[in-house]
Amino acid sequence: MSHVRDSLESLKARIAGLERACAGESGGEPAGRARTGHAGIDAALGGGLMRARLHEIFAFEADDAGCATGFVAALALRLGGTLVWLREGEAEKRGGQLHAPGLVEIGLSPAQVILGTLPDALAVLRAAADVTRCGDVGVAVVELWRDPRAFDLTASRRLALAAEASGVTVIALRIAATPAPSAAQTRWQVAAAPSLPMEANAPGYPAWAIELLRQRGRPAGGAWRVEWNCEQACLAEALLVGGAGTGGAAALSGAVLPLSAGRPARAAALGFRRAG
């Protein structure tokens, strides 16, 4: 009976993955891809970010951890589904806890986010292997600090194969790390960019300078300055600060997703679920 039950669960996971991969067809998205909303980026990706694949996001510098976190949250929202965010303890110690109000500002619902903090990279990868095999998960974020030996080419290959089998999209968020060979479908580098103020000098949209470093099966390269349109929940071309039509406006704070460095992120108050 246990063998039959396991087979049924495996079949359900595969069906859920296929349904997610094809869900974009009715909404105008290419099958198996999630549009970012930015025409140039979507064209470079062949229609959008591939679902059921492993993607790598590198913070340009350690101080860019906050903006890279915001960019990952934005991609997770575009991909849809339940988000499981697994963090190495060192990443939380160095950069602070995830800022729950910032995730809400991006557009993520507390009901769809599960946070897990684990003691080291090996524990994160073991948990990620289990999460990635769960067809009910939409996106799994694997946040690692520096270049742990546990996350080598073999480990990335395991995650990539599990993602393809289950339909779960895996995003490896790399902080203070150096790009190395991996099985990732795409590799990105993200840095903070200034944002334009809104009316009454209110802080502007989150903005990033991003570069596509690598892409399997398609040309790599391409750099964009983008912002997150909170109303439409999509990436858009960012106007240059002080450029035409800006009136020489100076950049305001609030260009990146904030992190709380030494205090709880009020996750419980906002309804985020924490595991581990």
| N-terminal to C-terminal alpha carbon distance within the chain | 31
Residue 209 DSSP one-character state: E
How much is the pLDDT for 197? 83
Token pair 């349109």: residue: 229
Q: What is the DSSP string of 94-116?
A: HH-B--HHHHHHHT--GGGEEEE
SS3 181: coil
- What pLDDT, on a 0 to 100 scale, did the predictor assign at position 111? 86
pLDDT per position as a tens digit, 184-205: 999 999 999 998 888 877 788 9
- Residues of the chain with pLDDT below 70 are 1-28, 241-276
Give Cα separations from 83 to 7, 50, 78, 80 (angstroms): 25, 16, 11, 8
Q: Does 41 reside within a domain?
A: no
How many domains in the chain? 1
In a domain, 44, yes or no: no
Instruction: Determine the structural domain holding residue 146 and report its residue range.
Output: 52-275
Q: With respect to residue 13, please indicate whether it lies within any of the assigned structural domains.
A: no
Instruction: Evaluate whether residue 47 is within a structural domain.
Output: no
Phi, psi (deg, nearest 5) at residue 115: -105, 140
CA 190-65-174 angle, to 5 degrees, is: 70
Q: Considering just the CA atoms, what is the radius of gyration of the chain in Å?
A: 18
Residues 259 and 192: beta-carbon distance below 8 Å: no
Instruction: Dig out the tokens for 53 from the structure.
Output: 């694949």
pLDDT digits (tens, 9 = 90+) for 215-225: 999 998 899 99
| pLDDT of 20 | 45
* CATH number for the domain that contains residue 183: 3.40.50.300
Residue 107 counted as domain residue: yes
213 in a domain, yes or no? yes
| Residue 140 belongs to some domain of the structure | yes
> What confidence score (pLDDT) does residue 24 get?
43
Q: What angle do CA 240, 63, 74 make, to 5 degrees?
A: 60
Helix axes 121-132, 153-166, angle to 10 degrees: 20
CA distances from 128 to 36, 142, 159 (A): 24, 7, 8
